[in-house]
Amino acid sequence: MVQLLLSAGKRLLRIGGGLAWVVLLLVTPGWAAKVHTEKAVEPPPPDLQLEGGRKLHWERSFSSEKEVEGKRGFFTKLIDVVAGEPDHPHLVRPYSIAVDSRGRAIVTDPGANGIHIFDFENHKYKFIERRDKEKDKDRMRSPQCVALDAQDNIYVTDSESGKIFVFDPNGKFRRTIGSLKGGEGFFKRPTGIAVDSAAQKIYITDTLRDKVFVFDLNGSVLQSIGKRGDGEVEFNLPTELLVHDQNLFVVDAMNFRVQFLDRSGAYQSSVGELGDTSGTVFRPKGIGVDSEGHLYVVDGLWGIVQVFDQRGRLLYYFGGRGTGNGEFQLPAGLFIDHDDRIFVVDSFNRRIQVYKYSGLPKQAQGGRP
């Protein structure tokens, strides 16, 4: 056996030089084990069976460029064994997420001072940052929430610089919104953002001013909504917001609720109150609306996502504190795409978890075809 291996080794050296020795070593049991050893796969959480045949299914999680690459071939694994796996950019402290028309996931990461773009369909990854030393006024320091317009342009709030950074769909910097003469931002602490492309408006929460500002797409202020307080259209540190149909949803964080307004800022209703039982919220974060009009509210403290109907009644919740699949540690952002895929930013676990909601067929919702 030894003679056979030595003979094979001489032939391989003549053909491929040093790489041939790698191939030779890989055919021995010890090295082969290193290539074929796979990590134990953690089982997914069971599907959540809901009223009327609805279902919530956990699909996957992702956290780095590595998941975008796709299946690695034999020779790629071979090189990894010899040289070690390459360092893959990964999420550090992700906060917010949006998914564009091409299915790319755009994730803000204040821990990395930038934005990750995961393109799973084309197996591409990109990281966007702004660190221009000569133009420090345009430096992105703490990206918070992200929103997209109808052309997939990317809008990112920066809570530290007090500005909104705008990038084209390829990640090229276009401009800032909210800059004043001297380099300072217009906002005290911008956080939530939503873009209404049809109306040519941008909605932005200024957390420290307890207001929602409405801009046109050129960055001019059209309106401000709200003031400090705990009444209707009053806020106590508002954060995330969402424009859906004719509604404007605002996370009124320290009033422990989500307020429902119309597009002009008039009060309609609210969901949530302070408490530690189901239906109450303690640290509301990201929000989203599915195809049936259900409102999803992340609770960062309890590590769950609660789902309410249009009347504000709790339908169900999912998640729980932990590090396993279907569990969260300080979850933050949430996004629901057109296929009812729910992306939850599991911030402290440094990953995004993806669910699929299956609602009622349209016929069952009201007889529509």
Residue 193 in any domain: the answer is: yes
Task: Give SS3 for 210.
Answer: coil
- Are residues 95 and 206 located together in one domain of the fold? yes
Residue 195 in any domain: the answer is: yes
If one counts the domains in the chain, the total is: 2
Residue 254 in any domain: the answer is: yes
Residue 42 in any domain: the answer is: no
- Are residues 10 and 119 located together in one domain of the fold? no
**Res 38: pLDDT:** 52
Residue 299 in any domain: the answer is: yes
- Are residues 32 and 87 located together in one domain of the fold? no
**Res 30: pLDDT:** 52
- Are residues 88 and 27 located together in one domain of the fold? no
- Are residues 349 and 208 located together in one domain of the fold? yes
- Are residues 310 and 252 located together in one domain of the fold? yes
**Low-confidence residues in the chain, pLDDT < 50:** 1-27, 31-35, 75, 84, 367-369
- Are residues 287 and 242 located together in one domain of the fold? yes
| DSSP per position, 278-332 | TT--SSEEEEEE-TT-PEEEEETTTTEEEEE-TTS-EEEEEE-BSSSTT-BSSEE
- Are residues 120 and 174 located together in one domain of the fold? yes
Q: How far apart are CA 363 and CA 309, in angstroms?
A: 19
Q: How far apart are CA 39 and CA 60, in angstroms?
A: 16
303, 294 in Cβ contact below 8 A? no
Q: How far apart are CA 157 and CA 231, in angstroms?
A: 26
- Are residues 211 and 291 located together in one domain of the fold? yes
Parent domain of 240? 48-366
Residue 25 in any domain: the answer is: yes
Q: How far apart are CA 75 and CA 155, in angstroms?
A: 40
- Which residues are CB-contacts of 72 (< 8 A; sequence separation ≥ 6)? 80
- Are residues 72 and 16 located together in one domain of the fold? no
Residue 171 in any domain: the answer is: yes
Residue 330 in any domain: the answer is: yes
CATH number at residue 206: 2.120.10.30
- Are residues 32 and 108 located together in one domain of the fold? no
- Are residues 280 and 145 located together in one domain of the fold? yes
**Res 9: pLDDT:** 43
